[in-house]
Amino acid sequence: MKKLLGILVLCLLWCNISFADNLKVVDGDTIVLNGEKIRFSGIDTPELKQTCIDKDQEVFCGVFAKMLLIEKIGNETPVCINEGKDIYKRTLAECFINGESLSSFLVRSGYAFAYRKYSKKFIEDEEFARANELGLWSMKFQFPWDFRKKS
């Protein structure tokens, strides 16, 4: 069983999960839709290699964020509102499933952070998750932007 779980974690770390020919989830805040790489604007999720401590156990919190996004999308196709490009030439957008913002959902669930450096839009969602110790807020973690600086 441990071997199977290990293989699953490795696949989630290094594989893009395909739902249909037009959608791939890259990580917790990035998808490829119809061949276009889309970075969710205003939020930041842990990196896939990033770990957190949950009840004295090391867990891949970036993988958790990706799995939550995959589960939320299900068999639907996100509708995205383009907000421009980032310095890596990815499309910045807010994407929705059945009218619900995926960014707001991820932040409010505690598996993404309001990326205050670029937006104030999801601060209330983050405060809700933090106050209720949801997701990462129930663990010991490093903010993704701090993790990237050290990597």
Distance from chain centroid for Cα 30: 7
CB 65 within 8 A of CB 28: yes
**pLDDT over 70 (residue 29):** yes
By CB neighbour count within 10 A (0-12 exposed, 13-18 middle, 19+ buried), where does 70 fall?
middle
Average pLDDT, the chain: 89
Half-sphere exposure of 81 (CA within 13 A, CB side): 10
Q: Model pTM?
A: 0.86
- pLDDT score at 4: 34
User: What number of helices (H) and strands (E) belong to the chain?
Assistant: 5, 11
Q: How confident is the model at residue 21 (pLDDT cuts 50, 70, 90)?
A: low
Q: What is the pLDDT of residues 49-103, one digit of tens each?
A: 999 999 999 999 999 999 999 999 999 999 999 999 999 899 999 999 999 999 9
Going along the chain from its start, the domains and CATH numbers come out as 16-150 (2.40.50.90)
- pLDDT score at 6: 41
